[in-house]
Structure 1
Amino acid sequence: MRTSPSVRPTPSPALWLARGRHTGPDAEDVVRRTLHRLKDDGTIDDHLEVSVSEAAASSSDAVFEARWTVADSVTVRARLVLVRDAEPGVEWVLAAEAERPWDLGWPSPATMFWPDGPDASWDHQPVTGLRFRKVNRLPEDDKDIRRLLRNSVRGGWNINVVVHEAMTPDEHGRLPIGPLLPPSLRHRVVEHRAAPDQLRIVNRALREFGVQVPRGGAVLLPPTPAPQGFEADDFSVRTVFLDGSRPAELVDTLARFAALPLALPDGAEGVVTALRDDWQLMTLEEELARARGLVAMYAEALEAMTKSRDLYREAAERAHEALAVYRDNGDTVPARPQPPATPQGSPFQQLTRRLERLKDTAKALRPASAGDGGRGTEGAGERPDESGR
């Protein structure tokens, strides 16, 4: 049963989830080269390309796993799934989970699978085609703005922020804010940029979302449904200086939003389940732990079967004892009840025979017709003459 968006479960705070589209060629080779390079320089501990089933292979799916360490001793496990569809490129879904609640200062799991260079083409939003690491200019028409923002927040996979330019910025101000964010936020945030003369038209489109962007400021768009604790004023920034400096207030606002108990994005339950249940990149200690778990499970099943066998044997012995007591007392052993006799033939044949009997009965009880009645009268009139003779 599909879970309603209004009751989507809240994920663990140790999870990091993202989804995007790689629009360039050879996405699998790009991931393989990145993993090998990071393994060689010690950034990740190990990686594995998982053999997918025939069903998945028919959709040209590819699954990669990687494991690395953060904060000296915290292990992170991540699973990237590539899915080819009718659109150009490959859609990807990435789920990572740490051994403790996620810290935004940790490296982005996306950069463990994808190259972080400016020319890489993996950072497109799947529905809209917008970029995570670029400035996305809003269209001119308010209907187009509304449609674009509606598609951007759909599913709840990304954090969307609308930034208004109070005046035309210089070259530094036209740079995206993504590189100024904590590493684990950079590839989850989509920046929508409004030109200086778009304030009124943008705010008209934002009424649908229950928020307004201040002049020269920024506002976060809530997903549907809005998370608990979301108040539009609390996630609105009065002023964002677009001069290339770090926007401290906006960064703090984005961090507070990311810390809210956000619901799992649409379709993320299966991704998280696969990360936890289908994980294959294990250390020797993990392999031993899994083997011990299987042994314990089999032992428990064997014990349950043994108990069932003993109970059956005990019941059979009691039945034999009761039978012996009957015979020793000279009592007649109760006969085993016979199953009720089943009529011969199929149910269809039985129904046919019953209908034939009803048909014959109906013929016998049917009143005579007019012609039959005339003949019957003549016959009745002849009988007295014959009897007189």
Structure 2
Amino acid sequence: MSNSATDSPTTPDTVWPARGRHIGPDAEDVLLRHLRRLKDDEVLDDFTEPKPAEDTPERVFEARWRVADEVTVRARLTLAPPQEQEEGRVWQLLAEAEQPWSEWWPSPATMFWPDGDDASWDHHHAVAGLRLGGVGPLPSDDKDMRRVIRDAARESWSVNVVVHEAMTPDERGRRPLAQLLPPGLRHRVVEHRAAPQQLRAVNWALRDLGVWVPRGGAVIVPPDPAPAGYDGPEYSVRSVFLDGSEPTELLDVLRRFAALPKPMPRGVEEALTGLREQWTLMTLEEELARERRLVAMYAEALEAMTKSRDLYRDAAERAHEALAAYKDTPAPAAGRPGAPAASPFRQLTRTFERWKGTAKGLRPAPTATDPSQDGDDTGEAGRVS
């Protein structure tokens, strides 16, 4: 596993990423019903399902809402098509706010999916048996345990924490610790539980990742790639009491780790580009501003084309004058031996060389195009009401 933090850019602190798997039928209907209900309740400002490109089998849903009364959040959820021999459908969600993300803001996942104990959308996208914000007992087989931890941590969009049970907990101790986290972190944490007799096996599984879990404690599994300066012991806890009380030290470690600047896992950069460049859910003011930018861009392009046309017209006129002078020049008279004769052809050649250099030097530079202006302008027709 590569733990280099230099291979990918850092995830902006305004971004909230998550991905999972919806188990069950009618994922689109579940999404649309929930989005409509939240819009009717004025939780969402608006939402839409943009028309997908012809070569894209994915379904895309966009939603916009406000937090802290004035901070706008834009989010885009992509639902992959069903795959043979795979249960459910994989989804990925990326939200971006106008300010750095606060852990106390609502979870963007609950803006698209209905929250509750019977949720079918919060399963891990790659590892069966794991749930976002839930508890996943580690397999009894050592090799399976190692595979689960490795696959969950590889290119993870979530925070993975391993908790060792010092003794078998009661019903209160079996509750997910993520339920005690602020709402903005709840669906970004995956909790792995090791039974009392699994301490040696789980530390064998964590050995390649450079961390270990204390007896009766917990440790955050470093993602791949790991944050710069990640120190395993700094993000471990020696004691976690699974008796229903609040594990203050562990919750503090989880919150500190979630706030760390982290390299973008694979897929996050593409999702962020799609959110920014293919966004269609605009207000009237945003649409007007975009049209003004387009008009300014077209005006610059027209001006550059006009200058280029004038440039080549002037060069063509010079070339015609030189050619006419060449045709009107009489044949040179015989001079003294060895004296060079004046050549009208040489004059024409010089004219063409000057024209070529002038045209090349004055050619206008290509106008940069704003990537955010290439999206499909669906306007009011692209919204779902």
* Bin of the TM-score, shorter chain as denominator length: 0.7 to 0.9
> Is 1:142–2:139 an aligned residue pair?
no
Q: Secondary structure at the match of 1:304?
A: helix
Partner of 1:100: 99
Partner of 1:362: none
Q: Equivalents in 2 of 1:145, 1:185: separation in Å?
A: 25
Partner of 1:369: none
Q: Equivalents in 1 of 2:139, 2:328: separation in Å?
A: 99
Partner of 1:10: 10
- By relative contact order (CA 8 Å, sep 6+), the higher-ranking structure is 2
Within a 5 Å distance, the mapping from 1:125-136 to structure 2 comes to: 125-129=124-128, 130-136=130-136
Within a 5 Å distance, the mapping from 1:355-374 to structure 2 comes to: none
Q: 1:79 aligns with which of 68, 76, 80?
A: 76
Partner of 1:213: 213
Within a 5 Å distance, the mapping from 1:1-389 to structure 2 comes to: 7-56=7-56, 59=57, 61-84=58-81, 85-86=83-84, 87-129=86-128, 130-326=130-326, 330=330, 334=345
Q: CA deviation at 1:326?
A: 4.5
Q: Equivalents in 2 of 1:293, 1:229: separation in Å?
A: 42
Counterpart contact for 1:158–1:188, Cα < 8 Å: yes
Q: Against the structure 1 CA distance between its residues 153 and 164, is the aligned structure 2 distance closer, same or farther, given a 3 Å change threshold?
A: same
The one-character-per-residue Cα deviations of 1:36-94 (angstroms, maximum 9, x if unpaired) are 111111111110011112222xx3x2110000001111100000010022212111010
Q: CA deviation at 1:95?
A: 0.7
Letter in 2 for 1:103: S
Q: Equivalents in 1 of 2:91, 2:189: separation in Å?
A: 16
Q: CA deviation at 1:334?
A: 3.3
Q: Against the structure 1 CA distance between its residues 5 and 230, is the aligned structure 2 distance closer, same or farther, given a 3 Å change threshold?
A: closer
Q: Equivalents in 2 of 1:64, 1:246: separation in Å?
A: 36
Q: CA deviation at 1:187?
A: 0.8
Aligned length, in residue pairs: 331
Q: CA deviation at 1:218?
A: 0.6
The farther-off stretch of 252-261 and 64-73 is 252-261
Counterpart contact for 1:34–1:114, Cα < 8 Å: yes
Letter in 1 for 2:62: E
The one-character-per-residue Cα deviations of 1:267-318 (angstroms, maximum 9, x if unpaired) are 2222111100000000001100110111111111111100100101111222
Larger CA Rg, structure 1 vs 2: 1
Counterpart contact for 2:146–2:206, Cα < 8 Å: yes
Q: Equivalents in 1 of 2:66, 2:95: separation in Å?
A: 12
Q: Equivalents in 2 of 1:327, 1:147: separation in Å?
A: 85
Q: CA deviation at 1:329?
A: 5.5
Q: Equivalents in 1 of 2:283, 2:244: separation in Å?
A: 44
Q: Equivalents in 2 of 1:133, 1:190: separation in Å?
A: 6
Q: Equivalents in 1 of 2:154, 2:23: separation in Å?
A: 20
Q: CA deviation at 1:321?
A: 3.4
Counterpart contact for 1:167–1:196, Cα < 8 Å: yes
Counterpart contact for 1:229–1:260, Cα < 8 Å: no
Counterpart contact for 1:156–1:264, Cα < 8 Å: no
Calculate the aligned-residue CA RMSD, in Å.
2.0
Counterpart contact for 1:142–1:201, Cα < 8 Å: yes
Identity %: 63
Q: Against the structure 1 CA distance between its residues 156 and 173, is the aligned structure 2 distance closer, same or farther, given a 3 Å change threshold?
A: same
Question: What are structure 1's unaligned runs of at least 5 residues?
Answer: 338-389
Counterpart contact for 2:326–2:345, Cα < 8 Å: no
Q: Secondary structure at the match of 2:110?
A: helix
Q: TM-score, normalised by structure 2?
A: 0.82
Letter in 1 for 2:117: P
Q: CA deviation at 1:257?
A: 1.1
Q: CA deviation at 1:330?
A: 4.2
Q: Equivalents in 2 of 1:205, 1:45: separation in Å?
A: 46
Q: Secondary structure at the match of 2:155?
A: helix
Question: What are structure 2's unaligned runs of at least 5 residues?
Answer: 332-342, 350-385
Q: Secondary structure at the match of 1:50?
A: coil
Q: Secondary structure at the match of 1:166?
A: coil
